[in-house]
Amino acid sequence: MKLTSKGRYAVMALVDLARFNNINPVSLRDISLRQGISLDYLEQIFSKLRKKEIVQSVRGTQGGYVLNKKAKEIKLTNIFDAVDEKVKTVQCKKDSKKGCNGKTTKCVTHNLWDELENHINNFFKEKSLEDLVKDNQERRI
């Protein structure tokens, strides 16, 4: 059970963006250099973040990306959701007639995995980008 790079990078990049998100847009190139993430990969990630309206792009020279909402309103859930980082604990197919389908037949551990999924998602729902930035600034003193 592990977190993929895509999810991790998305959060790292957004924390970076939030920290430098004063007046000017932040270019992916800068984020790439500071966070050590490939520029091409960042572009893929930000394309998704833009579609989900988490960031806005500013084109042209001196362009880059800006947060589209307040850091407080951007939760980890939103970020992971945008880049398709999903928490999957159950494999049971909804339409399977034999075995566990989550309705008529439940495998012995079905409820457990549901609980686990909720447990993890709760964590993601609570944490906002602002929390992360603050946490980071405190540790930098």
Partner DNA sequence: AGATACTTGACTATTTTAGTCAGGTTTATA
Partner DNA sequence: TATAAACCTGACTAAAATAGTCAAGTATCT
Helix axis angle for 39-51 and 28-35, nearest 10°, is 120
Question: Rounded CA gap, 16 and 31, in Å?
Answer: 7
Q: What's the closest the beta carbon of residue 102 comes to its own copies, in angstroms?
A: 13
Q: Closest distance between its own copies and the C-beta of residue 61, in Å?
A: 27
Q: Dig out the tokens for 113 from the structure.
A: 């995995």
- In the bound complex, what is the minimum distance in angstroms from residue 4's beta carbon to its own copies? 7
Tokens linked to 112: 């457990």
Tell me if 58 contacts its own copies by CB under 8 A.
Answer: no
- Bridge-based pairing state of the strands 55-58 and 64-67: antiparallel
Which tokens in the block code for residue 38? 């490939």
* 3-state secondary structure at position 29: helix
User: Any contact of residue 121 with its own copies (CB under 8 A)?
Assistant: no
Task: Single out the segment in contact with its own copies by CB under 8 A; choices: 42-50, 51-59, 63-71, 105-113.
Answer: 105-113
Q: Which is nearer to its own copies, 66 or 92 (CB)?
A: 92
Q: Does residue 49 belong to the site contacting its own copies (CB under 8 A)?
A: no
Q: Which of 23, 36, 95, 104 binds its own copies (CB under 8 A)?
A: 36
Output phi, psi for 66, to 5 deg. Answer: -130, 150
What are the b/e assignments for 41-55, b being 16+ CB within 10 Å?
ebeebbebbeeeebb
Least Cβ distance, residue 132 to its own copies (angstroms): 6
Rule CB under 8 A: is residue 119 a binding residue for its own copies?
yes
> Which chain residues interact with its own copies by CB under 8 A?
1-5, 7-8, 11-12, 15-16, 19, 35-36, 85-89, 91, 98-99, 106-109, 111-113, 115-116, 119-120, 123, 127, 132, 135-136, 139
